Chains A and B, each alone.
Chain A
């Protein structure tokens, strides 16, 4: 890859200006140093930024924003770089703003059950810091050992406990953010709600397009007294889907309810030896937590339901070691599947659960016709499906076929009443599929809201919300259901 240096003079001048506010070591411009930032967790998309800055204080972040805003230079925020939709893909003419060094836990208030943290703090570090108080931070994306809380807010990250404990948006109480021109605003606090519009909700999941978050107040919950997990094997994925519906219809809200298909089961078993039944068409992991007495009662209920729904076998973890082992297989599913092929591409649609069997059949048909294997890992409780498409990037045409298959799967999710992204975000990856999910006036409304926060359009341009022109071009390629989604837009 060649560094593009469209305006070397501007770049030199910007570096000179930034050096007044930032230490020299916090400004990276050498191509080799920039290379570490060329992609996030979705490595199929790469770009070298003009500069990388690593501020250590809010004041330094403000200085970066002010300098960029004066010069009309785009700014892409980055946390730990674990995102899976290319949300932190650099802009070649812009500054990549790493918030990784703003990594301090500023305050833990055990009485009000909140913690005030900087955006670069790792998700898991919060739960570790408050563990001695019997508290924890609930959202647990699978990358929680590495991902940062700022990135979690930007993507509205989920995890395996969403059905019961919610997403990031349900577990934060306040945000402090900088506007693109460097003004510091605070919404929310230790009290519930906040006066005015719910900007906390609007900023959560806005993928770095509306403001730069520099401080977050997260909610802390008491650790449940006990957790227990049941592992059920099914000879048919449809039966597993029906069991999920039956558990929920019985009035039980499991802490985690996960499903894996045969390919994913075999890969995980081979990788971590979790004791999974490798001949099952699907397995369900159902975790219950709460007070000891409650868990004891509900685990019996769940066993009964699973058996009634035709489970070939149901096991409950005998001890904490086995419970963690059952989960280890699920948590390692992505890397385990990754061993089956040189590359894999992780999708993230959500569907109404009642359509699960239909969607799995369609995915397996599409997988066969594309000649690419697909393993399915499913947050069954909340309908969030992660098909993992296996391919070999070194084989000509494979990446393109994987991307096309992925796009078809997302279209299928929209078709059955779901969404193109449950928790990974739109980023650059799913920007075309946004045209299927939203009408032109809805996209225009998004752009108007973006303009209210960022009139110059400098924050993470080209991500999350497609332009109408882009949708027109995409629509010309994919006429959906015989109807053009954007008939009123000029074609190119």
Chain B
């Protein structure tokens, strides 16, 4: 048995016991811990106090079997290392986690739960999480989920940890579903008005086309097609447009916010809305990704006004970069829901040791 199995042992530094000891020490002394992997997303969320708990040394791919489509790695493993190991076997992380130009780690990618341009078509970070090993707020090492695609035993704590910004525990190890890289990929460009762009992105999404990215920069609409070569060719014929030469660097620039749109001092807002929502009437500069459902806004408009517009459209808002990092960075929750969040936090981290205040004030 095991002829299909492949164990890729890269750097096998297991520092889970050391991390557990640091959590115990923080509990004893009543100090808050600020969890940090590669530091590439330290700008994200609310400003947080506490002693740094670095997960960077806890790294290494601990299991990867290409024919099972499952990879397990420690939280400090750089995303670049994981992506290189996958690329060797012609596979990928289909949610395209942002690196933001830094030494992004798996732990940070899952803790922030952020996904790149392929997300509406392939799934989000949490969609690919199969299991996680964590340290909870009582310094216990716990395992949830597993290394298989289908698993409904117990509450889905591994997915609850995704996007919780480290406020519920330290991610030690994560198992992810991975996917084959598409055989062919192509990006087409069309000139469109904002209203047209939104319309056409949503018309395409209702058809069985091999879409893997739809982004509009205010003037040009970029459509990425991925799949078997004949499917990409056929979709190209149906959609039309000019072929973008350096398509890979364009999508990376959107994923990592290196695109010129992201330059400059104005606060960066992420406005998430139902994809077919018409252009929103908020002053500022817009870049639409995810087929219209993730809209980046550079604006110094009032936070309450932006919240109001997004709520009215059935969406929600994040102050992604800049602005006041001690206020409501994430969309405010209704009181009953906030109360439930506090109780979940208390269930996982009763002493409030992890990333205090990073998501919402008070926990």
A residues within 8 Å of B by Cβ?
Answer: 109-114, 133-135, 155-156, 158, 162-163, 166-167, 169-170, 179, 183, 185-187, 189-199, 201-202, 204-206, 210, 222-225, 242, 245-246, 248-249, 251-253, 290-294, 296-298, 350-355, 357-358, 379, 381-384, 417-426, 430, 434, 437-439, 441-442, 445-446, 448-453, 464-465
Can you identify 5 A-B contacts, CB atoms within 8 angstroms?
A185-B340, A196-B341, A198-B126, A354-B4, A421-B152
Tell me if B347 and A167 are in contact (CB < 8 A). Answer: no
Contact with A along B179-209 (1 / 0, CB 8 A): 1110100000000000000000010011111
Q: How far is the CB of A481 from chain B (nearest CB, A)?
A: 17
Tell me if B290 and A192 are in contact (CB < 8 A). Answer: yes
Interface size class of B (residues with CB under 8 A): 35 or more
Contact with A along B256-278 (1 / 0, CB 8 A): 00000000000000001111100
Question: Hey, which chain B residues are within 8 Å of A382, CB to CB?
Answer: 148-150
Q: Pick the most buried of B206, B233, B314: most chain A CB atoms within 10 A of its CB.
A: B206
Tell me if B341 and A112 are in contact (CB < 8 A). Answer: no
Any A CB within 8 A of the CB of B315: yes
Any A CB within 8 A of the CB of B160: yes
Tell me if B348 and A445 are in contact (CB < 8 A). Answer: yes
Tell me if B127 and A166 are in contact (CB < 8 A). Answer: yes
Question: Hey, which chain A residues are within 8 Å of B66, CB to CB?
Answer: 249
Tell me if A190 and B274 are in contact (CB < 8 A). Answer: yes
Contact residue among A379, A450, A452, A465 (Cβ-Cβ distance under 8 Å from B150): A379
Tell me if A183 and B4 are in contact (CB < 8 A). Answer: no
Q: How far is the CB of B134 from chain A (nearest CB, A)?
A: 9
Q: How far is the CB of B57 from chain A (nearest CB, A)?
A: 24
A355 to B, closest residue via Cβ? B1
Contact with A along B122-137 (1 / 0, CB 8 A): 0110110000000010
A184 to B, closest residue via Cβ? B336
Any A CB within 8 A of the CB of B337: yes
Tell me if A351 and B228 are in contact (CB < 8 A). Answer: no
Tell me if A197 and B163 are in contact (CB < 8 A). Answer: yes
Tell me if B67 and A169 are in contact (CB < 8 A). Answer: no
Given contacts A201-B160, A201-B162, A245-B67, contact A452 B149 (CB under 8 A): no
Any A CB within 8 A of the CB of B346: yes
Q: How far is the CB of A452 from chain B (nearest CB, A)?
A: 4
Question: Hey, which chain A residues are within 8 Å of B294, CB to CB?
Answer: 192
Contacts beyond the supplied A190-B314, A419-B153: 18 A-B pairs with Cβ under 8 Å: A113-B275, A179-B336, A191-B316, A192-B124, A195-B331, A195-B332, A201-B159, A202-B155, A205-B156, A251-B183, A291-B231, A354-B67, A382-B148, A419-B150, A421-B152, A441-B138, A442-B154, A445-B140
B136 to A, closest residue via Cβ? A445
Contact with A along B160-173 (1 / 0, CB 8 A): 10111000100000
The docked-state distance in angstroms from the alpha carbon of A307 to that of B221 is 44
A289 to B, closest residue via Cβ? B208
Contact residue among B68, B231, B274, B313 (Cβ-Cβ distance under 8 Å from A354): B68
Tell me if B1 and A421 are in contact (CB < 8 A). Answer: no
Question: Hey, which chain A residues are within 8 Å of B348, CB to CB?
Answer: 445, 448-449
Given contacts A224-B208, A251-B180, A351-B148, contact A170 B113 (CB under 8 A): no
Q: Pick the most buried of A163, A196, A353: most chain B CB atoms within 10 A of its CB.
A: A196
The docked-state distance in angstroms from the alpha carbon of A430 to that of B153 is 9
Given contacts A170-B127, A294-B227, A297-B229, contact A192 B148 (CB under 8 A): no
The docked-state distance in angstroms from the alpha carbon of A397 to that of B296 is 65
Tell me if B274 and A189 are in contact (CB < 8 A). Answer: yes
Contact residue among A187, A192, A252 (Cβ-Cβ distance under 8 Å from B337): A187
Q: How far is the CB of A210 from chain B (nearest CB, A)?
A: 8
Tell me if A352 and B148 are in contact (CB < 8 A). Answer: yes
Contact residue among A135, A166, A291 (Cβ-Cβ distance under 8 Å from B234): A291
B35-66 residues at the A interface, CB under 8 angstroms = 65-66
Task: List the 6 shortest-distance A-B pairs measured between CB atoms, nearest first.
Answer: A190-B274, A293-B230, A201-B159, A294-B231, A251-B180, A422-B150
Any A CB within 8 A of the CB of B13: no
Tell me if A442 and B142 are in contact (CB < 8 A). Answer: yes
Question: Hey, which chain B residues are within 8 Å of A251, CB to CB?
Answer: 90, 180-181, 183
Contact residues of B: prevailing secondary structure? loop
Tell me if A191 and B1 are in contact (CB < 8 A). Answer: no
B298-352 residues at the A interface, CB under 8 angstroms = 313-316, 318, 330-334, 336-337, 340-341, 343-344, 346-348
Tell me if B337 and A185 are in contact (CB < 8 A). Answer: yes
B198 to A, closest residue via Cβ? A111
Any A CB within 8 A of the CB of B151: yes
Question: Hey, which chain B residues are within 8 Å of A448, CB to CB?
Answer: 347-348
Question: Hey, which chain A residues are within 8 Å of B155, CB to CB?
Answer: 202, 205-206, 210, 446, 449-450, 465
Tell me if B231 and A194 are in contact (CB < 8 A). Answer: no
The docked-state distance in angstroms from the alpha carbon of A460 to that of B67 is 39
Any A CB within 8 A of the CB of B144: yes
A238 to B, closest residue via Cβ? B1
A301 to B, closest residue via Cβ? B228
B138 to A, closest residue via Cβ? A441
Given contacts A191-B315, A353-B67, contact A290 B149 (CB under 8 A): no
B160 to A, closest residue via Cβ? A202
Q: How far is the CB of A475 from chain B (nearest CB, A)?
A: 17
Given contacts A183-B336, A352-B70, A452-B346, contact A253 B150 (CB under 8 A): no
Tell me if B340 and A453 are in contact (CB < 8 A). Answer: yes
Contact residue among A135, A291, A379 (Cβ-Cβ distance under 8 Å from B210): A291
Tell me if A192 and B272 are in contact (CB < 8 A). Answer: yes
Any A CB within 8 A of the CB of B108: no
Q: How far is the CB of B10 from chain A (nearest CB, A)?
A: 21
The docked-state distance in angstroms from the alpha carbon of A183 to that of B164 is 24
Question: Hey, which chain B residues are within 8 Å of A245, CB to CB?
Answer: 4, 67-68
Tell me if A421 and B208 are in contact (CB < 8 A). Answer: no
Tell me if A110 and B149 are in contact (CB < 8 A). Answer: no
B131 to A, closest residue via Cβ? A419
Any A CB within 8 A of the CB of B146: yes
Q: How far is the CB of A290 from chain B (nearest CB, A)?
A: 6
B134 to A, closest residue via Cβ? A445
Q: How far is the CB of A300 from chain B (nearest CB, A)?
A: 11
The docked-state distance in angstroms from the alpha carbon of A16 to that of B330 is 46
Tell me if A158 and B150 are in contact (CB < 8 A). Answer: yes
Q: How far is the CB of A484 from chain B (nearest CB, A)?
A: 18
Contact residue among A112, A135, A225, A351 (Cβ-Cβ distance under 8 Å from B202): A112
The docked-state distance in angstroms from the alpha carbon of A187 to that of B172 is 28
Q: How far is the CB of B137 from chain A (nearest CB, A)?
A: 10
Contact residue among A109, A134, A253 (Cβ-Cβ distance under 8 Å from B179): A253
Question: Hey, which chain B residues are within 8 Å of A225, CB to CB?
Answer: 208
Tell me if A135 and B147 are in contact (CB < 8 A). Answer: no
Tell me if B276 and A111 are in contact (CB < 8 A). Answer: yes
Tell me if B150 and A423 are in contact (CB < 8 A). Answer: yes
Tell me if B152 and A422 are in contact (CB < 8 A). Answer: yes
The docked-state distance in angstroms from the alpha carbon of A198 to that of B348 is 14
Any A CB within 8 A of the CB of B12: no
B67-114 residues at the A interface, CB under 8 angstroms = 67-70, 90, 113
Q: How far is the CB of B154 from chain A (nearest CB, A)?
A: 6
Tell me if A110 and B206 are in contact (CB < 8 A). Answer: yes
Tell me if A417 and B208 are in contact (CB < 8 A). Answer: no
Question: Hey, which chain A residues are within 8 Å of B143, CB to CB?
Answer: 438-439, 442
The docked-state distance in angstroms from the alpha carbon of A273 to that of B183 is 38
Tell me if B235 and A291 are in contact (CB < 8 A). Answer: yes
Any A CB within 8 A of the CB of B5: yes
Tell me if A297 and B228 are in contact (CB < 8 A). Answer: yes
Given contacts A167-B150, A350-B148, contact A202 B337 (CB under 8 A): no
Tell me if B154 and A195 are in contact (CB < 8 A). Answer: no
The docked-state distance in angstroms from the alpha carbon of A451 to that of B350 is 13
Q: How far is the CB of A294 from chain B (nearest CB, A)?
A: 4
The docked-state distance in angstroms from the alpha carbon of A209 to that of B150 is 20
The docked-state distance in angstroms from the alpha carbon of A352 to that of B147 is 7
